[in-house]
């Protein structure tokens, strides 16, 4: 029985799993562990996969920034990151040295976004933005059935923002301060701004008006440039039930009927696969190498 492997490589934890090539939607075995330095973590990854000799291909969806340009001399590397023991680490090379099989190498948001495109909230459309808002902010972009990348993967969390008039926060991003989306709208930004976790803030707190404004600004930018059929929210911050309706309202106001979009209840939606999105995306991408 041929198997597919999945490596969802997060900055906080790794998830590894296997599934049957003929049934990538069903996880046979799964394990998670904290993200340590590169070599130590990869030893745990390979120890898991050592239990399975019939792995035909593995999908890797990794935290970034990573080099996904096959023509680059650092293809497969984790680039400059604050995560200790990962900057300049040849992640893909370490896996290839362990076992010489096909690997699909991409970003964590691309992996999750691909699962939503194949069998989740975007299975009926061709052009998708998958936006995750949590510890960081990032996007996977799919156009006409292909993951979008130019010289490298998009950095959609670092687009510039217009500051909300009621927001006095100095920003979380070490590069852009209070001028980029991640610096203003990520989970840590919310917590630092209000000195308490987002989960503890009531629905009528000013935090959600400000958050909805920033996310809506970003969606207007993505809409005007990329013209997606659907925008999907993942990550921890959008779990707050009142947030997406507020984002839709702010988006409609800011777009001001400039472009035709689908009914906003269908245009701006929640992720369907939840915590399984990344692993499923890895399976689907690994299987694509075998077709």
3-111 homologous superfamily = ATPase, nucleotide binding domain (3.30.420.40)
122-271 is classed in which CATH architecture? 2-Layer Sandwich (3.30)
pTM of the predicted model, to two decimals? 0.95
For residue 21, what are the CA distances in angstroms to 1, 24, 102? 8, 6, 14
Per-residue model confidence (pLDDT) at position 150: 79
- With tokens 């690997």, the residue in question is 103
Per-residue model confidence (pLDDT) at position 13: 95
Per-residue model confidence (pLDDT) at position 196: 96
Alpha-carbon distance of 182 to 136, in angstroms, equals: 6
Per-10-residue mean pLDDT for the chain, 291 residues long? 95 96 97 97 99 98 94 96 92 98 98 98 98 95 93 92 98 95 97 97 98 99 98 96 99 98 98 96 98 78
Q: Tens digits of per-residue pLDDT, 137-165? A: 999 999 999 999 878 889 999 999 999 99
Q: Of 49, 1, 13, 19, which Cα lies nearest the Cα of 281?
A: 19
Query: What distance lies between CA 272 and its chain's CA centroid?
Result: 14
For residue 260, what are the CA distances in angstroms to 184, 263, 267, 290? 28, 9, 11, 39
Element holding 170 (H helix, E strand): none
Element holding 269 (H helix, E strand): strand 268-270
Sign of CA dihedral 187, 193, 199, 201: negative
Enumerate the CATH 3.30.420.40 domain ranges in the chain, comma separated.
Answer: 3-111, 122-271
Torsion of CA 55, 2, 101, 65, to 10 degrees: -60
Q: Of 148, 143, 153, 111, which Cα lies nearest the Cα of 229?
A: 143
For residue 273, what are the CA distances in angstroms to 75, 149, 279? 29, 23, 10
Backbone φ and ψ of 280, nearest 5°: -60, -45
Q: Tens digits of per-residue pLDDT, 39-86? A: 999 999 999 999 999 999 999 999 989 999 999 999 999 999 878 999
């Amino acid at each position: 029985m041929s198997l597919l492997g999945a490596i969802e490589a997060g900055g906080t934890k790794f998830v590894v799993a296997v599934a049957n090539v003929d049934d990538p939607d069903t996880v046979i075995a799964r394990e998670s562990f904290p993200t340590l330095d590169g070599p130590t973590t990869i030893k745990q990854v390979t120890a898991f996969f050592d239990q399975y000799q019939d792995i035909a291909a593995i999908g890797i969806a990794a935290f970034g920034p990573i080099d996904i340009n096959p023509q680059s001399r650092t293809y497969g590397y984790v680039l400059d990151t604050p995560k200790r023991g990962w900057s300049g680490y040849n992640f893909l090379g370490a896996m290839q040295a362990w076992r010489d099989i096909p690997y699909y190498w991409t970003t964590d948001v691309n992996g999750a976004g691909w699962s939503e495109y194949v069998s989740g909230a975007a299975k009926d459309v061709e052009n998708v933005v998958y936006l995750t808002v949590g510890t960081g902010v990032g996007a996977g972009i799919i156009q006409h059935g292909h993951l979008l990348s130019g010289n490298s993967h998009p950095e959609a969390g670092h687009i510039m923002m217009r500051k909300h008039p009621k927001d006095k926060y100095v920003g979380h991003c070490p590069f852009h301060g209070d001028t980029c989306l991640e610096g203003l709208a990520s989970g840590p930004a919310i917590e630092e701004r209000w000195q308490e976790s987002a989960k503890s803030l009531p629905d009528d707190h000013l935090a959600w008006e400000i958050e909805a404004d920033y996310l809506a600004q970003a969606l207007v930018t993505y809409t005007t440039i990329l013209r997606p059929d659907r925008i999907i929210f993942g990550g921890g911050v959008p779990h707050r039930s009142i947030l997406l309706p507020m984002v839709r309202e702010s988006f409609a106001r800011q777009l001001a009927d400039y472009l035709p979009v689908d009914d906003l209840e269908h245009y701006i939606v929640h992720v369907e696969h939840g915590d399984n999105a990344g692993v499923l995306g890895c399976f689907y991408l690994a299987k694509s190498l075998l077709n």
